[in-house]
A and B are shown apart, each in its own frame.
Chain A
Amino acid sequence: MTDITTEKARIGAPSQPFINGFTEEGESLSPVNAAASKSPLAGEAVKRHSHGGGVGIPDSSRAGRLTSYKLADFKPLTGMEEDWRFTPLKRLRGLHTEVLNGAAPTVSVTAPDSVTVETVGRDDRRIGSAAIPEDRVSANAWENFTEATVITVPAEVQVDGEVSVLLTGQGTGASAQHVVIIAEKFSKSVVVLDHQGTAVVAENIEILVEDGAQLTVISLQEWNDDAVHASSQQARLGRDAKFKHIVVSLGGDLVRVTPSARFTGPGAEVELFGLYFADAGQHLEQRLFVDHSVANCKSNVLYKGALQGRNAHTVWVGDVLIRKEAEGTDTYEANRNLVLTDGARADSVPNLEIETGLIAGAGHASATGRFDDQHLFYLMARGIPEEVARRLVVRGFLNEIIQQIKVPAIEERLTAAVERELAATNH
């Protein structure tokens, strides 16, 4: 791949050069991080620091970001905030400013009998068990949702097949959605969130992975072209839990998914995968956060994106924080983008904060390359027709993520969707 930007660092492997701002102990530490950090969901979620506030101070610790269930705690957005600086606020269609009282996407769950599916009110005790809003749009959704879907995989149940959650948009009224997924102790399951239709929706997905549970959550965004979707998907992992999260964003005018994973007990593992394909004019954003706050946990992140057409814009920001107490952490995050035509833009920002040197490994990488005329010439000079050559490259590139899904029907559907994206040559 012709790398336009590459950045690599592997802490704990001294033979490799460290990137600017890194020492053997990790990234240059701000005094903020010296303060004792607290459990991520507990009362004092906002770390105090010298700046007084908690919101969007560039270069401050990711741990310092304001979290609150109250919309009023978040200032109105200006677009200058660190976590909103890439997002075209005008195209959010009021998700950050309006009362979200439009009709929320309908929820239809297909699940084996062993899985409990409930529709509950705001006062259900399980609401808030795994998540707390980290931005204004998420808080707005929290303040405005009227009912929530709670999906529970009971303890020690191994679910055959997947739990399929179809969320169908009900038009362009700005709306709020809330889903809670609970994988109880030692259960094993796969949950698919399938977003379709037209919607303007802010969504909170709470994911609780209890001790020893194994859960895969696949979030598919195959919206219509006019949809606007902001989705906070926060996971809380118990001891020895295994969580795999796959985000696939293909459709919609603006899609912004912010997954996070927080560890509460040792021995847990999280894998965060993502695939996105932006066409002309689409804005597809993904910002993830892995919070290593306990010892001996693992995380692995890989997001891959393709872009084609004028003003196709993708954003990937990967924040990984290894707190002082998270000794023995092993983490790696990477983002790869393939730019297929002129006029597209991929932003990629891997952030790694390390507050302890006593870790097994920590690394991050980002590369954005072009599929250009040279690639095309090479493949065609071997007899391969142009369209086949283009497909060959993109299919191969994205297949690495698709094959992580391991639900054959969805893998086939996404492969076909990628082919359709490629066929829509808007360059």
Chain B
Amino acid sequence: MNRSEPAKASLRLESDRAVFSGRWTARHIGRVGHQIEHTAWPAGKLTFELSEVERMDTAGAWLLHRLQRQLTSKGMSVELEGVTPEMQGLLKLVSESGVMASDLPRPERTGALQNLGQTSLRSLQSAMGLIAFVGEAWLAGIRLMLHPGRIRWAEIAHSLGEAGHKALPIVGLLAFLLGIVITYQGGVQLRQYGASIFVADLVGLSMLRELAPIMTAIIVAGRTGSAYTAQIGTMQVTEEVDALRSIGIQPMELLVLPKLLALMIALPLLTLYADVMGVLGGMVMAKVQLDISYATFIDRLQVALTVKSYLVGIGKAPVFAAMIAIIGCYQGFKVSGSAASVGRHTTISVVHAILAVIVVDALFSVAFSYLDI
């Protein structure tokens, strides 16, 4: 439609006649709506002249009717002229089903104190729910161990592939780059003291004990924990979870335990892989920047690292994995109703999982130093 713009709705006042013209349709009455509010209406009798109106829809009819209502309630009398049968129909419709905004039902307003209370209560309930969920998972796990025939190996293998195998490229790349960065930053300092060779200690210890486990866990929380929440959450919205229950399949057994188990296997393996890639990155950088040969680097590494430092790092991984899987699945089951809810709980899942990983890692550090490990 490249023709001239259709005439917008307009209104002009000629002593005691209000002349309506143009298109009184939803898209063309925006401006006239504001105009009506700022018009000084004469008192007494008023005539609405409608014969110049080109077209009218419900929105336009409502605006007209509302004005008529407002003026009448102020004790004026309003007469309509030039009303077509179509307009008559619309005016009848809006007068029957129109409600003034001030009379519309409103959601109950809650005070700040009530909000605070409700939010605290919800957080508490959520925490209690999580604990109950962990308990349920334990019980289901024990039941499964008593009936090993019911273990769903295919599900576990599938989850293992999704969470483990497909995460190799990203985990490997990040660990390698992290190794390079640490070596570069540390190497600059160590060289000043002529202690370049200790860069192997730096990279080896920091990667194995702290960085590889925690970084891998964070990647997996973002990658796999979120996927668990989104999958279970969407199944919850489409009633698939209820369907499983109705067929006699425990959602815990099919949806949670295989994921939990798979992640507890995958994360330590991924951490080991990150260890190797991180040290490799350090080795390459040591050669390039500090001119330490690969053989020298590896020799030093054997002195610096013990089996203990390796185990300290890798031992944390299953704990991280369990937390990520449990939080991810729990948030998935808490989804209700809509697509927006899936998004909200996926966000919560990732934030909580990363937070839990970091806090627990700090607790591990404190415990290890206390136990002198």
Do A and B originate from a single complex?
A: no
Which B residues are within 8 Å of any A CB, using their own CB?
none
Which A residues are within 8 Å of any B CB, using their own CB?
none
